[in-house]
């Protein structure tokens, strides 16, 4: 069908209707066996980075990619047509009665084009409107058959295609990426047993315990009802009013005020399934399970001042970062880990595992690594894929099941329901990005935008006229809900309420805060101070603090001091004597616990240049960075050509105006009397250097350029009197060695030891 298909690019499946190939027998669901070896000539970095199982699936080998080819449209070499396929002669002028006459109603070409345009927008997601997506695959390390019969975990090296969407929660579709917010981390697994969506966040707990409070929470955090402000921000009265009256949110507030809420990159944040789920094996035995995604690059964050500035200079900061990494073959990778525990274990915990405001400390139940996920292909079309992808917690497959978490129950209803409005009807599962690679056969029919052309006259079951098809799969193949009466008291009456342990709102908030490094704790205090300083109603501030005292008196005191307030009396607790926790400090909760692979791959370094710059030290650094997979960009007072001190021509592809300092992970100031003099005369230079310093970035200054540091009041010494490990000073003759020292310091990500509050620089 190849030639026919390419002759009919709009619907490449058309030839099948004429009986070519196996029109009536579409290929079975695509279970991609990992190839035993990579195609010859492959130089993909993916092949190099993985020390796990096969390193098998490579760019483009992905069972969701081929089915999508059916609908991909490439207009190269094609003539412009209407939606009816009629060739358009003139796309410049509407049809008029005479050159200066009125436009004619008859102009169906004009009307079709404008009508289509008028209806381009669909409702944005009510939460998580702002997001970015990518294709990839999940690869299992080993069979998990002991615990689950879920398809992705049945063999070592088993590859399952995925589509992932990362998002912020509160902002609208066009809002900034670097808002202080929770990040969505939603993964659609296109398994051979149907689609499984793991719709998680980058924080392992949530604000509320029961779905019935979700509309209230979202109404409180979204822009205020009367004037629709502020955009993509929680620092306003209604949010803090609500959470201060809902002490169960305290644990999540700690996470939200931590550096987790301003990730450096989607590629550098963890993901969590949040709820307790169930794994079910072939024998029908079930265990509890929590899902964890851990990034290979480590967990890293921005600092607040930086996040605020980035949101002005590049609101697409995270979207761009993800896109560029994948385009350049630096495929982002996460390890999936499971915390597996039994119902009996859970019953003994000091907290309730059905409560989504609680986590299971890793020290209590360790994380078992089970596979890895690699994102290796950008979408072809943002709307068709990233915007139309529809996740749902109720999309699960045999081998998985729900628990009685009341938040999860509400989600299982909400996600399908919301797509009906957002995607315009019940057939959104047929939109290509949502269609499973497993086959779909049932008797559901009709509705808006139906794509499938069902054959035959039978749409009911049981039937004899269609030989009983499609037939029930039965317990062996089909999805069976776990029969066990889960957790409920045999004789319980209908009730609106929560189990007792749900009422302990502070123990884990304390655990989180106590498990942070001093720098992280300082950032949490500063975040509370900032957010609360934005409130206009003092009573709300007071109420937040009175709740915070219960979690950490030290934190409450620090925040109160920052607001010029006294610490109020503690809020009465719902549970006066909570159980003693198993774990009092969990170092695993600090970002520091996951520094990553220690590489500087994809890090962006600014090399400031002007005429007369010392070329050798500049190129020594640039080459060293390139060799490590980092990007050294020449940034000038303007873009374009500059001349080095030895007369060579260099090109700056960024300027201090279009790429300010805070967009870079590090800074290099090459030597050169003339260039330093020129740079010193620009106001931007000082800001560029100050931002780099203030945000804890690594700075390398050669020879004469050290004067620029002095002018920007950058200190070589830390407040403690020790040398700042992030400031590298060198002679221009020492380029290579200096570059290596710079790279080592850059790999530490940041140098928070130099931070003071308020900043000294
Ligand atoms: Fe969501 N959530 N949510 N949520 N959520 C949506 O579904 C909802 C919750 C999460 O990239 C909506 O398709 C309820 C927790 C992500 O497309 C909606 C409750 C967690 C995404 C919805 C929660 C999440 C959503 C809006 C409380 C972390 C984006 C558009 C019971 C585990 C998925 C849509 C994407 C999106 C409802 C709580 C994560 C309205 C009712 C907890 C990552 O259905």
Separation between Cα atoms, residue 185 and residue 269, nearest integer Å: 9
User: Angle at which helices 518-533 and 538-551 pack, to 10 degrees?
Assistant: 160
Q: Which residues contact 300 (CB under 8 A, 6 or more apart)?
A: 263, 264, 265, 268, 591, 596, 749, 750
pLDDT at 63: 67
Residue 250 · residue 506 · CB < 8 Å = yes
Reply yes or no on whether the pLDDT at 45 is more than 80: no
**Does ligand 1 come within 6 angstroms of the Cβ of 167?**
yes
What pLDDT does residue 3 have?
54
| pLDDT higher than threshold 50 for residue 39 | no
Kindly report the protein residue whose alpha carbon is nearest to atom 1 of ligand 1.
411
Give the residue-averaged pLDDT of 83-104. Answer: 96
393 C-alpha to center of ligand 1: Å?
A: 8
Given the residues 62, 135, 195, 201, select the one marked as catalytic. 201
Phi first, then psi: what are they for 46, rounded to 5°? -55, -40
Sequence ranges of the chain with CATH classification 3.40.50.880: 604-754
pLDDT band at 280 (very low <50, low <70, confident <90, very high): very high
Report percent pLDDT > 90 for the chain. Answer: 86
Closest Cα to residue 639, out of 658, 652, 628?
652
**CATH hierarchy code of domain 604-754:** 3.40.50.880
Q: Is the pLDDT of residue 447 over 50?
A: yes
Question: Quick check: 67 pLDDT over 80?
Answer: no
Q: Is 211 in the pocket of ligand 1 (CB under 6 A)?
A: yes
| Range(s) of the chain covered by CATH 2.40.180.10 | 131-224+254-434
Rounded mean pLDDT of 554-572?
A: 98
**701, β-bridge pairs:** 669, 729
pLDDT digits (tens, 9 = 90+) for 192-237: 999 999 999 999 999 999 999 999 999 999 999 999 999 999 999 9
**What is the residue whose two structure tokens read 């004597």?**
577
Query: Fold for domain 505-593?
Result: Hemocyanin, N-terminal domain (1.20.1370)
Q: Looking at residue 4, what is its pLDDT?
A: 47
* 562-567-572 Cα angle (round to 5): 135
What region, left, alpha or beta, does residue 446 occupy, with left being phi > 0 and alpha being psi -120 to 50 degrees? left
| H-helix or E-strand spanning residue 271 | strand 271-272
Dihedral over alpha carbons 366, 371, 374, 379 (to 10 degrees): -100
Contacts of 729 (CB under 8 A, 6+ apart): 700, 701, 706, 716
**Considering only CA atoms, which of 441, 447, 412 is closest in space to residue 427?**
447
Kindly tell me if the per-residue pLDDT of 115 is higher than 90.
yes
> Which tokens hold the place of 499?
């189990």
Q: How far is it, in rounded angstroms, from Cα 285 to Cα 519?
A: 45
For ligand 1, whether the C-beta of 201 sits within 6 Å is yes
Tokens of 307: 């996040």
Q: Is the dihedral of CA 364, 198, 255, 568 positive or negative?
A: negative
pLDDT band at 30 (very low <50, low <70, confident <90, very high): very low
Cα distances (angstroms) measured from residue 474 to each of 102, 431, 477, 478, 723: 67, 28, 6, 5, 69
**CA–CA gap between residue 372 and residue 459 (Å, rounded):** 41
According to DSSP, the residues that pair with 652 across neighbouring strands are 640
Nearest CA to ligand 1 atom 14: 411
Top-tier CATH class for 131-224+254-434:
mainly beta
Rounded Cα distance, 368 and 346, in Å: 17
Per-residue pLDDT, 486: 58
Which parts of 616-655 are beta strand (E)? 631-636, 640-643, 649-652, 654-655
Catalytic status, residue 441: no
From the CA of 411, how far away is ligand 1's center (Å)? 7
Q: How far apart are CA 452 and CA 26, in angstroms?
A: 13
Q: Tell me: the pLDDT tens digits for 284-305? A: 999 999 999 999 999 999 999 9
Residue 144 is encoded by which pair of tokens? 């998990």
Q: Which atom of ligand 1 is nearest to the CA of 206?
A: 42
The tokens describing 538, both together, are: 């003092």
Compute, in angstroms, the gap from residue 602 CA to the centroid of ligand 1: 31
Long-range contacts of 587-593 (CB under 8 A, 24+ apart): 587/515, 588/361, 588/362, 588/363, 588/515, 589/361, 589/511, 589/512, 589/515, 589/516, 590/515, 590/516, 590/517, 590/520, 591/259, 591/260, 591/299, 591/300, 591/301, 591/520, 592/517, 592/520, 593/299
pLDDT tens column, 454-468: 999 999 999 999 999
The reply to whether ligand 1 has any atom less than 6 angstroms from the CB of 391 is: yes
Contacts of residue 254, defined as CB under 8 A and 6 or more positions apart, other chains included, come to 509, 512, 513, 524, 551
Band (74; pLDDT cuts 50, 70, 90): confident
Measured CA distances, 179 to 168, 457, 524, 640 (Å)? 8, 54, 15, 33
pLDDT tens-digit map of 150-159: 999 999 999 9
In sequence order, what are the beta bridge partners of 190? 195
Q: Which residues contact 364 (CB under 8 A, 6 or more apart)?
A: 349, 582, 583
Q: How far apart are CA 341 and CA 338, in angstroms?
A: 10
Q: In terms of C-beta density within 10 A (0-12 exposed, 13-18 middle, 19 or more buried), how is residue 220 classed? A: buried
Residue 16 pLDDT exceeds 90: no
Indicate where the chain has its CATH 1.20.1370.20 domain(s).
Answer: 505-593
Q: How far is CA 149 from CA 118, 155, 304, 309, in A?
A: 48, 10, 44, 48
689-705 average pLDDT score: 97
| Helix, strand, coil abundance in the chain, percent, nearest 5 | 35, 15, 50
Predicted structure pTM score? 0.92
Q: Is the CB of 271 under 6 A from ligand 1?
A: no
Instruction: Read off φ and ψ for residue 359, nearest 5 degrees.
Output: -110, 165
Give the DSSP letter of residue 179: S
Q: What is d(CA 217, CA 203) in angstroms, rounded to the nearest whole number?
A: 17
If you average pLDDT over residues 243-262, what whole number do you get?
98
Active site residue 427: no
Reported confidence tier of residue 50, pLDDT bands at 50, 70, 90: very low
Distance 434 CA to ligand 1 centre (A): 16
Cβ(214) – ligand 1 distance below 6 Å: yes
412 lines ligand 1 (CB under 6 A): no
What's the CA gap between 594 and 202, in Å, rounded?
14
- Decide which of 487 and 361 is more confident: 361
């Amino acid at each position: 069908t190849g030639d026919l298909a390419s002759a009919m690019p709009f619907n490449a499946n058309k030839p099948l209707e004429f009986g070519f190939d196996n029109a009536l027998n579409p290929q079975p669901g695509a279970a991609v066996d990992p190839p035993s070896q990579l195609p010859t000539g492959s130089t993909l970095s993916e092949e190099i980075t993985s020390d796990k199982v096969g390193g098998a699936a490579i760019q483009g080998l992905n069972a969701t990619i081929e089915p999508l080819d059916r609908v991909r449209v490439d207009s190269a070499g094609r003539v412009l047509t209407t939606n009816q396929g009629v060739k358009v002669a003139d796309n410049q002028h509407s049809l008029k009665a005479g050159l200066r006459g009125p436009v004619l109603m008859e102009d169906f070409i004009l009307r079709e084009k404008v009508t289509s345009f008028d209806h381009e927008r669909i409702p944005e997601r009510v939460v998580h409107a702002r997001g970015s997506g990518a294709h990839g695959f999940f690869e299992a390390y080993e069979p998990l058959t002991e615990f689950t019969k879920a398809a992705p975990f049945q063999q070592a090296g088993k590859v399952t295609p995925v589509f992932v969407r990362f998002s912020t929660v509160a902002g609208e579709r066009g809002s900034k990426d670097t808002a202080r917010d929770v990040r969505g981390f939603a993964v659609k697994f296109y398994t051979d047993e149907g689609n499984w969506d793991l719709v998680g966040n980058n924080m392992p707990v949530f604000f509320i315990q029961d779905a019935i409070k979700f509309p209230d929470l979202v109404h409180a955090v979204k822009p205020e009802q009367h004037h629709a402000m502020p955009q993509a921000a929680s620092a306003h009265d209604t949010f803090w009013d609500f959470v201060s009256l809902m002490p169960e949110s305290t644990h999540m507030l700690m996470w939200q005020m931590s550096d987790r809420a301003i990730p450096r990159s989607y590629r550098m944040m963890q993901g969590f399934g949040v709820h307790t789920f169930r794994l079910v094996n072939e024998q029908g035995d079930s265990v509890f399970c929590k899902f964890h995604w851990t990034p290979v690059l480590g967990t890293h964050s921005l600092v607040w001042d930086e996040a605020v500035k980035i949101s002005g200079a590049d609101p697409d900061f995270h979207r761009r970062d993800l896109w560029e990494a994948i385009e350049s073959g630096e495929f982002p990778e996460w390890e999936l880990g499971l915390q597996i525990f039994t119902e009996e274990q859970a019953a003994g915990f000091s907290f309730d595992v059905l409560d989504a405001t609680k986590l299971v400390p890793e020290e209590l139940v360790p994380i078992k690594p089970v596979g890895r996920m690699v994102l290796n292909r950008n979408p072809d079309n943002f709307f068709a894929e990233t915007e139309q992808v529809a996740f749902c917690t109720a999309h699960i497959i045999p081998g998985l099941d729900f628990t009685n978490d009341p938040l999860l129950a509400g989600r299982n209803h909400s996600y399908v329901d919301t797509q009906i409005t957002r995607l315009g009807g019940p057939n959104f599962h047929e939109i290509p990005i949502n269609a499973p690679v497993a086959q779909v056969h049932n008797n559901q029919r009709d509705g808006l935008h139906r794509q499938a052309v069902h054959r035959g006259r039978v749409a009911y079951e049981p039937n004899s006229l269609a030989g009983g098809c499609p037939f029930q799969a039965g317990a062996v193949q089909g999805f069976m809900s776990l029969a066990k009466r889960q957790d409920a008291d045999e004789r319980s009456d209908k009730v609106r309420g929560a189990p007792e342990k749900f009422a302990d709102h502070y123990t884990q908030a304390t655990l989180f805060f106590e498990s942070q490094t001093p720098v992280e704790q300082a950032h949490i205090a500063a975040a509370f101070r900032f957010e609360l300083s934005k409130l206009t109603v003092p009573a709300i501030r007071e109420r937040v603090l009175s709740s915070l005292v219960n979690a950490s008196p030290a934190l409450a005191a620090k925040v109160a001091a920052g607001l010029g307030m006294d610490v109020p009396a503690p809020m009465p607790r719902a549970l006066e004597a909570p159980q003693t926790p198993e774990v009092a400090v969990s170092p695993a909760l600090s970002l520091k616990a996951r520094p990553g692979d220690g590489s500087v791959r994809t890090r962006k370094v600014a090399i400031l240049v002007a005429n007369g710059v010392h070329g050798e030290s500049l190129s020594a650094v640039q080459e060293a960075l390139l060799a490590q997979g980092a990007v050294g960009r020449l940034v000038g007072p303007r873009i374009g050509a500059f001349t080095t001190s030895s007369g060579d021509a260099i090109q700056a592809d960024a300027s201090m105006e279009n790429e300010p300092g805070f967009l870079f992970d590090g800074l290099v100031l090459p030597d050169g009397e003339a260039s330093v003099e020129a740079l010193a005369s620009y106001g931007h230079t000082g800001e560029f250097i100050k931002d780099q310093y203030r945000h804890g970035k690594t700075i390398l200054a050669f020879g004469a350029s050290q004067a620029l540091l002095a002018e920007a009041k950058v200190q070589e010494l830390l407040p403690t009197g020790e040398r700042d490990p992030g400031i590298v000073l060198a002679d221009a003759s020492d380029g290579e060695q200096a570059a290596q020292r710079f790279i080592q310091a850059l790999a530490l990500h940041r140098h928070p030891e130099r931070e003071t509050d308020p900043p000294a620089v």
